[in-house]
């Protein structure tokens, strides 16, 4: 063919090339069209609750416990459930296999997030982690990896040990709510690591603001009552209606929230900049980057540092608090399992608080932490992923822009992996009982921290901080049921009202030192603790 072409004149040759290209284009289009049609024809009917015209499954969408609804769909429809919410396809993945196949193996097309106009545009809360998998996200994740990588987190161990000592002290101070103490623990760690900000009291302005904004985000903005969906996120044109319009209360709310959110993003970095200039900054994520970049600091870098820093703080508070609160709750409900962990700790740790150097010597306590994380499932339905292009899976068509939800809590209760899944059984992770392959397959961290390219970057900090909190609480404190004035035991009420995090509602419990001896250990550790 090429030899024949060389004997033609140049213009004929051009026409022939054009003709060839046209033929190829037509044939390729026909093949693609035929394949697309064939795919559509061979798609199976999608399992899920039947919807109504126009609104689809809007009324099937849960208003109270989204995990319960997901569990019912799993039971009724199997590994995958489809919903149609006002034209947007929502796909719930209930099995480990489906999640691995789509969110991990096909991560290139399943790693965007659905647009959240209310939070990002109207409330001006715009961390890259709420957006698509793009360059901005890659830059901000790279910055976060610098502070949160497996090799860096051990450098925070002294700080974690110091703060854990403060946590124990506050938990036994009967005037303070255990929830407040735990939130302070989770917030203090991230504020110090990120901004070099030391929290010294519960009234600390940065601590109070961080808690207020994370509450606002998780209880109001990201989980819009009653269905967790803002109309403006479904009908984006609504963002243009003026605030005074009768049905525009969402815009009026957004204006108020924006006023609260913007200073929370801007001010901490400004303060670090001031301290760096004065030479008084404590070593932190922000000070490190400001000092490294100095003159070469660009507006883009400044923007990324500001948002990456804020993301670490907001990402830490409710997640770490959820695990530590579950630790107390499960100690209350299963004292016998924790007394075995306590015996193990007592054999290793004598006359002092536990430290990270003890970790390798406490294998059963490690199993207890795994079981706490499994049952806690801190972000039970993960964060939503969005599909970039049409896809086919197991005979189902999943259209572009579908919102994909991983039923993490369902996977952490999968009977194939965990027999009697609602029970608290740390032994299911014990190396003397199960082989290494089973232990690996059961490790709840594989699912609890999300998937693929959007997997949680805070996993190492979360693991270290929750381990130390658990081992220290078990070593020194008794958590028991409250006895009322008539001598009756008050059973803890186990409820979860938060839409995004499985943070237990406040439950009745009594927290006190195991003995005078343990009280003294905590007090002495507090006296000798300093931070470099």
Kindly tell me which of 129 and 261 has the beta carbon lying closer to ligand HEM: 129
> Do 50 and 84 meet the contact criterion of CB atoms below 8 Å apart?
no
β-pair partners for 52: 56
Question: Binding of ligand HEM at residue 451 (CB under 6 A)?
Answer: yes
> Among positive and negative, which fits the CA dihedral 465, 470, 476, 479?
positive
* Total Cβ atoms within 10 A of residue 490: 13
* C-alpha–C-alpha distance, residues 521 and 105, integer Å: 49
309-348: contacts with ligand HEM (CB under 6 A): 311-312, 315-316, 319-320, 323
Sequence ranges of the binding site: 456
Cα Rg, the chain, nearest whole Å: 27
* C-alpha–C-alpha distance, residues 482 and 489, integer Å: 6
284-313: contacts with ligand HEM (CB under 6 A): 311-312
Token code pair at residue 156: 């925070």
Instruction: Look at residues 331, 341, 345, 337 and name the one whose alpha carbon lies nearest to residue 364.
Output: 341
Token code pair at residue 66: 């989204």
Token code pair at residue 137: 């996200």
Question: Binding of ligand HEM at residue 461 (CB under 6 A)?
Answer: yes
Question: Binding of ligand HEM at residue 468 (CB under 6 A)?
Answer: no
In the three-class reduction of DSSP (H, G, I as helix; E, B as strand; rest coil), residue 83 is classed as: strand
* Total Cβ atoms within 10 A of residue 199: 21
Question: Binding of ligand HEM at residue 449 (CB under 6 A)?
Answer: yes
Question: Binding of ligand HEM at residue 511 (CB under 6 A)?
Answer: no
Kindly tell me which of 371 and 478 has the beta carbon lying closer to ligand HEM: 371
Kindly tell me which of 149 and 395 has the beta carbon lying closer to ligand HEM: 149
Kindly tell me which of 341 and 369 has the beta carbon lying closer to ligand HEM: 369
Of 159-167, 209-217, 332-340, 456-464: span binding ligand HEM (CB under 6 A): 456-464
Kindly tell me which of 223 and 482 has the beta carbon lying closer to ligand HEM: 223
> Do 293 and 122 meet the contact criterion of CB atoms below 8 Å apart?
no
Here's the x/- map for ligand HEM, 130-149, by CB under 6 A: it reads as: -----------x------x-
> Do 201 and 289 meet the contact criterion of CB atoms below 8 Å apart?
no
- Taking the complex as a whole, the smallest distance from the CB of residue 483 to ligand HEM amounts, in Å, to 32
Phi, psi of 262 (to 5 degrees): -55, -50
* C-alpha–C-alpha distance, residues 477 and 66, integer Å: 34
Burial of 82 (0-12, 13-18, 19+ CB in 10 A): buried
Phi, psi of 137 (to 5 degrees): -65, -45
Compute how many residues bind ligand HEM; rule: CB under 6 A.
26
Question: Binding of ligand HEM at residue 265 (CB under 6 A)?
Answer: no
Of 28-36, 46-54, 454-462, 482-490: span binding ligand HEM (CB under 6 A): 454-462
Here's the x/- map for ligand HEM, 148-187, by CB under 6 A: it reads as: x---------------------------------------
Which residue in 48, 49, 196, 450 binds ligand HEM (CB under 6 A)? 450
Instruction: Look at residues 158, 151, 144, 154 and name the one whose alpha carbon lies nearest to residue 194.
Output: 144
Kindly tell me which of 250 and 449 has the beta carbon lying closer to ligand HEM: 449
Kindly tell me which of 56 and 268 has the beta carbon lying closer to ligand HEM: 268
Instruction: Look at residues 516, 517, 507, 519 and name the one whose alpha carbon lies nearest to residue 332.
Output: 507
- Taking the complex as a whole, the smallest distance from the CB of residue 487 to ligand HEM amounts, in Å, to 38
What is the DSSP pairing of strand 403-406 with strand 396-398? unpaired
Of 6-14, 56-64, 350-358, 450-458: span binding ligand HEM (CB under 6 A): 450-458
Helices (H), 377-411: 408-411
- Taking the complex as a whole, the smallest distance from the CB of residue 201 to ligand HEM amounts, in Å, to 23
> Do 140 and 449 meet the contact criterion of CB atoms below 8 Å apart?
no
Question: Binding of ligand HEM at residue 66 (CB under 6 A)?
Answer: no
Which residue in 160, 462, 473, 475 binds ligand HEM (CB under 6 A)? 462
Here's the x/- map for ligand HEM, 4-43, by CB under 6 A: it reads as: ----------------------------------------
Instruction: Look at residues 479, 357, 478, 474 and name the one whose alpha carbon lies nearest to residue 426.
Output: 474
Here's the x/- map for ligand HEM, 407-446, by CB under 6 A: it reads as: ----------------------------------------
> Do 112 and 137 meet the contact criterion of CB atoms below 8 Å apart?
no
Here's the x/- map for ligand HEM, 346-385, by CB under 6 A: it reads as: --------------------------------xx--xx--
Which residue in 456, 471, 500, 522 binds ligand HEM (CB under 6 A)? 456
* C-alpha–C-alpha distance, residues 215 and 202, integer Å: 16
Could you tell me how many residues make up the chain?
532
Kindly tell me which of 139 and 170 has the beta carbon lying closer to ligand HEM: 139
- Taking the complex as a whole, the smallest distance from the CB of residue 65 to ligand HEM amounts, in Å, to 18
* Total Cβ atoms within 10 A of residue 261: 23
196-235: contacts with ligand HEM (CB under 6 A): none
Kindly tell me which of 66 and 315 has the beta carbon lying closer to ligand HEM: 315
Question: Binding of ligand HEM at residue 457 (CB under 6 A)?
Answer: yes
- Taking the complex as a whole, the smallest distance from the CB of residue 182 to ligand HEM amounts, in Å, to 13
Token code pair at residue 42: 């061979």
Instruction: Look at residues 96, 62, 99 and name the one whose alpha carbon lies nearest to residue 440.
Output: 96
> Do 408 and 447 meet the contact criterion of CB atoms below 8 Å apart?
yes
Which residues form the interface with ligand HEM (CB under 6 A)?
A: 129, 141, 148, 311-312, 315-316, 319-320, 323, 378-379, 382-383, 448-451, 454-458, 461-462, 466
């Amino acid at each position: 063919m090429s030899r024949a072409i060389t004997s033609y004149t140049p213009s004929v040759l051009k026409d022939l090339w054009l003709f060839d290209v046209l033929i190829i284009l037509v044939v390729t289009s026909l093949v693609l069209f035929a394949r697309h049609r064939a795919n559509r024809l061979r798609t199976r009917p999608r399992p899920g609750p039947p919807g109504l015209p126009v609104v689809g499954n809007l009324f099937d969408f849960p208003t109270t416990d989204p995990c319960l609804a997901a569990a019912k769909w799993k039971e009724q429809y199997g590994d995958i459930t489809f919903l149609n919410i006002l034209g947007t396809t929502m796909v719930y993945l209930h099995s480990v296999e489906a999640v691995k196949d789509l969110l991990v193996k096909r991560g290139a097309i399943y790693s965007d997030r659905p647009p959240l106009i209310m939070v990002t545009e109207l409330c001006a809360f715009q961390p890259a982690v709420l957006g698509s998998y793009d360059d901005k996200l890659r830059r901000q994740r790279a910055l976060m990896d610098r502070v949160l990588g497996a090799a860096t987190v051990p450098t925070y161990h002294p700080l974690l040990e110091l703060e854990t000592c403060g946590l124990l002290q506050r938990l036994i101070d009967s005037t303070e709510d255990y929830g407040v103490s735990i939130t302070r623990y989770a917030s203090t760690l991230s504020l110090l690591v990120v901004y070099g900000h030391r929290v010294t009291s519960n009234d600390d302005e940065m601590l109070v603001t961080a808690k207020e904004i994370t509450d606002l985000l998780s209880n109001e903005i990201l989980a819009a009552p009653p269905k967790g969906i803002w109309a403006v996120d479904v009908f984006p044109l609504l963002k243009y209606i003026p605030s005074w319009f009768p049905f525009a209360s969402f815009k009026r709310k957004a204006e108020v929230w924006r006023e609260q959110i913007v200073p929370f993003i801007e001010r901490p970095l400004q303060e670090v900049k001031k301290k760096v200039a004065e030479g008084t900054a404590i070593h932190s994520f922000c000070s490190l980057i400001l000092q490294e970049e100095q003159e070469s600091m660009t507006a883009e870098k400044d923007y990324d540092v500001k948002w990456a820093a804020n993301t670490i703080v907001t990402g830490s508070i409710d997640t770490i608090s959820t695990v530590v609160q579950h630790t107390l709750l499960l100690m209350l409900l299963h004292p016998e399992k924790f007394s075995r962990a306590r015996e193990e700790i007592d054999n290793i740790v004598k006359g002092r608080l536990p430290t990270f150097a003890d970790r390798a010597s406490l294998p059963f306590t490690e199993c207890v932490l795994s079981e706490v994380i499994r049952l806690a499932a801190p972000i039970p339905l993960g964060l939503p992923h969005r599909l970039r292009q049409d896809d086919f899976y197991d005979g189902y068509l999943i259209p572009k822009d579908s919102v994909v939800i991983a039923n993490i809590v369902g996977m952490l209760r999968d009977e194939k992996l965990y027999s009697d899944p609602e029970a608290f059984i740390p032994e299911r992770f014990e190396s003397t009982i199960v082989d290494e392959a089973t232990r690996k397959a059961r490790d709840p961290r594989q699912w609890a921290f999300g998937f693929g390219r959007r997997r949680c970057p805070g996993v190492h900090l979360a693991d270290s901080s929750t381990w130390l909190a658990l081992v220290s609480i078990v070593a020194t404190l008794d958590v028991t049921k409250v006895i009322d004035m008539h001598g009756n035991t008050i059973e803890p009420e186990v409820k979860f009202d938060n839409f995004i995090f499985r943070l237990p509602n406040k439950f009745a419990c009594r927290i006190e030192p195991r003995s005078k001896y343990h009280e003294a250990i905590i007090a002495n550790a507090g006296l000798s603790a300093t931070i470099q």
